[in-house]
A and B are shown apart, each in its own frame.
Chain A
Amino acid sequence: SQQGEEDPQALSIQEGENATMNCSYKTSINNLQWYRQNSGRGLVHLILIRSNEREKHSGRLRVTLDTSKKSSSLLITASRAADTASYFCATDPYNFNKFYFGSGTKLNVKP
């Protein structure tokens, strides 16, 4: 499989703590994206990092990318109960019109 894989599969933290999720992938990519899915809903784009970038910030989100290790991490700082959702990384291999998603990390933020 060329899909990205997230770990951990599940993460439970207290409100205010930071949450870190990791993603590993297998192919060369143009960019890597993170998406969020609330239970039973569609996926919503959070942040995109290009293959020539190492770190990117957006609000409380921080994404890193290490293309030599084919891995990425998503950090959510000062988590809130509303951050409870599943988080997926998505990769787009060069010259292919498709995006691969992993199995996701299910984040539970306890109030």
Chain B
Amino acid sequence: EPEVTQTPSHQVTQMGQEVILRCVPISNHLYFYWYRQILGQKVEFLVSFYNNEISEKSEIFDDQFSVERPDGSNFTLKIRSTKLEDSAMYFCASTRISGGANSGANVLTFGAGSRLTVL
């Protein structure tokens, strides 16, 4: 079964430091997503990415956040200057078909998540 892999599984950082979370989506998937989940709370959409550019982003995804696909396999989320409230689980997900497609086949495959703790 193809998997979405995320690294690191857990990162502890000091407030104000930069963090990069990495994801390797499923190889034939074209649409990539980052979500975050503050402990025990809702799963919040951050950003979607297609064809090497952002297609949608939420109000959470401000100038502190950026995404890129540097080498055709990795998909990264960078937080430039972390804040205490950035502490959360960050999930990467991918799908072969767009979230807006009326195909019934746009099922998300999630990674296991990266837990970020900001001290």
On A, residues with C-beta under 8 Å from B are 3, 30-31, 33, 35, 40-45, 48, 50, 88, 90, 92-104
Contacts and interface: CB of A to CB of B under 8 A. Distances in A.
Contacts of A42: 4, 91, 110-113
B98 interface: yes
Interface of B: 4, 31, 33, 35, 41-45, 48, 50, 55-56, 58, 89, 91, 93, 98-102, 104, 106-113
Contacts of A43: 43, 91, 93, 108, 110
A104 B109 contact: no
A41 B48 contact: no
Contacts of B93: 43
Contacts, number: 76
Nearest to B6: A42
Contacts of B4: 42
A106 B113 CA distance: 19
A24 to B, nearest CB: 14
| Nearest 3 Cβ contacts at the A-B interface | A42-B110, A101-B43, A103-B42
5 contacts: A35-B108, A43-B91, A44-B110, A50-B104, A96-B100
A41 B33 CA distance: 17
Contacts of A31: 104, 106
Contact of A99 (B50, B104, B108, B111): B108
A101 to B, nearest CB: 4
Contacts of B107: 33, 45, 48
